[in-house]
């Protein structure tokens, strides 16, 4: 592959954030995307739950959504209609959410194709190994070399090299903001194919929740997001996942006897957005920047919106229409409130999750409509008062 020694914009990472950034930056700038995976989207590190376009528009009303949220049906495993919350006692509540469950391999490939169609150069199987100012050392399938860029976008996931190299804070600086997610793809399960289920309870999933996300035809992604600080000593994440599948009073009836076809694991940054997401001519977006809804660990929508804003800002900056630092206020005006509120709620919920009776009481008192709002990174006043009151009681 013939790479130029210099690009207007270099983007590290071709996940949802980087590919979206590239698709928009390439409309008005020369763009290189560096991706260490040899096959885009593989291995998968995501359960693929993504609300449909109209739900996303309600979730992020101030956003000009990327057009790539209108993806082909071939990227979709299954459609779901509800989100159901199951309290530690087994009581459940549900609300309507029209959503797709994505095949992330196909979805990421689709996003990368859109970036290339827009004019970006994509270099797969290649790792950015060091960044010094605006010089990037890359090595991999196409050999080793140094590329220079006027603007760099770090869309390189939670353990971002770009953030670290630019002196921006990273997930390592915020241990309580780290959740670990582990999941199996399973076949032969007996589930409600219309509902995404979220289970709470400290014995099964400390400091987080477990999920069953239908993939259609009696298959599902079954996983959990856990916070290690809240785990029992000596119990691994995989132990918790097995305990959930085999022993949970409700879930085990649906899952026991199912066959595991693959295992996925990854880090989910639930500590909120980095205080600074740009330094000089470097920006970070998506998981690299903590752009994620902390109450549910959903990061695809915010990663793509932040990627679009980073790509547009990069192209505007190299064409003299704005400063790179404008990125900060641009993404905050579109998704800052949702991300910030979700972290605030997650912190309040951390206290409740230490006690199953408390968690059950809270879930019983919150209406389905308010649960949906919380999932979207909103905090209705009534819920705020309730959580604050509960927090006082547990001290
Ligand atoms: C188990 C699990 C389940 C999840 N389920 C959901 C879900 O159902 N719905 C949802 O909305 N979110 C989910 N998430 C979160 C979601 O996957 C992320 O928020 C989303 O992928 C973030 O996109 P991104 O582009 O910022 O980062 P990523 O998707 O992580 O992409 C970063 C890319 O950068 C590349 N990269 C990293 N370092 C380098 C380097 N040095 N050089 C070159 N390339 C590099 C990586 O290979 C990767 O392709 C889940 C996460 C996990 C771990």
Calculate the CA 382 to chain-centre distance: 28
Which are the contacts of 98, defined by CB distance < 8 A and separation ≥ 6?
A: 51, 52, 54, 55, 79, 80, 81
Residue 231 CA to ligand 1 centre (angstroms): 24
Pairing of strands 195-199, 209-216: antiparallel
* Closest to 355 (Cα-Cα) out of 219, 167, 207, 147: 207
Inter-residue contact 294 to 271 (CB < 8 Å): yes
> CA distances (Å), 297 to each of 47, 54, 96, 144, 180, in order?
10, 20, 19, 35, 10
* Closest to 11 (Cα-Cα) out of 102, 126, 103: 126
In short, whether 18's Cβ falls inside 6 Å of ligand 1 is yes
Q: How far is Cα 381 from Cα 341, in angstroms, rounded to an integer?
A: 12
In short, whether 297's Cβ falls inside 6 Å of ligand 1 is yes
In short, whether 353's Cβ falls inside 6 Å of ligand 1 is no
- In the numeric block, which tokens belong to residue 293? 């809804």
Regions of the chain where pLDDT drops below 50: none
Provide CATH code, domain 6-71+104-174+270-342. 3.50.50.60
What SS3 state is found at 301?
helix
Atom of ligand 1 nearest to the CA of 158: 30
Q: What is the DSSP string of 37-83?
A: -SBTTBS-----EEE-HHHHHHHSTT----GGGS--GGGEEEEEEEE
Task: Kindly tell me the burial class for residue 326, based on how many C-beta atoms sit within 10 Å of its own C-beta (0-12, 13-18, 19 or more).
Answer: middle
In the prediction, which pLDDT does 395 show?
63
Residue 157 CA to ligand 1 centre (angstroms): 5
Only one residue has tokens 């915010």, namely 302
In the prediction, which pLDDT does 207 show?
87
Q: How far is Cα 339 from Cα 271, in angstroms, rounded to an integer?
A: 9
In short, whether 181's Cβ falls inside 6 Å of ligand 1 is yes
Helices (H), 51-203: 53-59, 104-117, 161-165
In short, whether 258's Cβ falls inside 6 Å of ligand 1 is no
Pairing of strands 49-51, 92-102: antiparallel
**What residue ranges do the domains of the chain occupy?**
6-71+104-174+270-342, 76-102+177-268, 355-394
In short, whether 225's Cβ falls inside 6 Å of ligand 1 is no
Residue 35 CA to ligand 1 centre (angstroms): 12
- The residue whose CA is least distant from atom 17 of ligand 1 is 46
Q: Report the 10 Å Cβ neighbour count for 99.
A: 22
In the prediction, which pLDDT does 375 show?
78
Q: How far is Cα 148 from Cα 57, in angstroms, rounded to an integer?
A: 37
Domain 76-102+177-268: CATH class, spelled out: alpha beta
3-class secondary structure per residue, 330-362: HHHHHHHHHHHHHHHHHHHHHHHHCCHHHHHHH
Task: Kindly tell me the burial class for residue 139, based on how many C-beta atoms sit within 10 Å of its own C-beta (0-12, 13-18, 19 or more).
Answer: middle
pLDDT digits (tens, 9 = 90+) for 149-180: 999 999 999 999 999 999 999 888 888 889 99
Residue 186 CA to ligand 1 centre (angstroms): 21
């Amino acid at each position: 592959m013939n790479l130029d020694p210099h690009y207007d914009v270099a983007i590290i990472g071709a996940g949802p954030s980087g590919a979206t950034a590239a698709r928009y930056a390439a409309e008005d700038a020369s763009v290189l995307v560096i991706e260490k995976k040899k096959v885009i989207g593989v291995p998968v590190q995501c359960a693929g739950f993504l609300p449909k376009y109209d739900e996303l528009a309600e979730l992020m009303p101030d956003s000009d959504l990327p057009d790539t949220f209108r993806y082909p049906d071939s990227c979709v495993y299954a459609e779901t209609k509800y989100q159901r919350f199951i309290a530690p006692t087994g009581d459940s509540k549900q609300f309507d959410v029209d959503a797709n469950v994505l095949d992330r391999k196909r979805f990421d490939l689709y996003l990368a194709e859109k970036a290339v169609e827009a004019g970006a150069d994509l270099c797969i199987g290649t790792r950015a190994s060091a960044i010094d100012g605006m010089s990037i050392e890359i090595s991999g399938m196409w050999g080793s070399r140094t590329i220079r860029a006027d603007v760099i976008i770090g869309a390189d996931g939670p353990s971002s090299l770009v953030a670290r190299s630019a002196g921006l804070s990273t997930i390592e600086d915020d241990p309580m903001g780290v959740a670990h997610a582990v999941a199996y793809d399973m076949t032969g399960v007996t589930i409600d194919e219309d509902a995404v289920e979220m289970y709470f309870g400290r014995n099964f999933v400390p400091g987080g929740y477990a999920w069953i996300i239908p993939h259609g035809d009696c298959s599902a992604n079954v996983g959990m997001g856990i916070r290690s600080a809240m785990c029992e000593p000596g119990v691994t994440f995989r132990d918790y996942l097995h305990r959930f599948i085999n022993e949970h009073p409700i879930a085990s009836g649906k899952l026991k006897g199912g066959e595991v076809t693959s295992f996925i694991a990854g880090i989910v940054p639930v500590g909120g957005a980095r205080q600074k997401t740009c330094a000089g001519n470097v920006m970070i977006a998506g998981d690299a920047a903590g752009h994620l809804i902390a109450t549910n660990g959903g990061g695809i929508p915010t990663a793509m919106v932040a990627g679009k804003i980073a790509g547009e800002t990069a192209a505007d900056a190299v064409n003299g229409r704005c400063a790179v630092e404008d990125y900060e206020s641009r993404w905050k005006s579109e998704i800052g409130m949702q991300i910030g509120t979700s972290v605030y709620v997650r912190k309040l919920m951390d206290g409740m999750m230490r006690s199953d009776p408390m968690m059950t009481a809270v879930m019983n008192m919150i209406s389905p409509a308010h649960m949906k709002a919380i999932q979207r990174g909103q905090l209705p006043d009534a819920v705020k008062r309730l959580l604050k009151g509960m927090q006082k009681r547990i001290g």
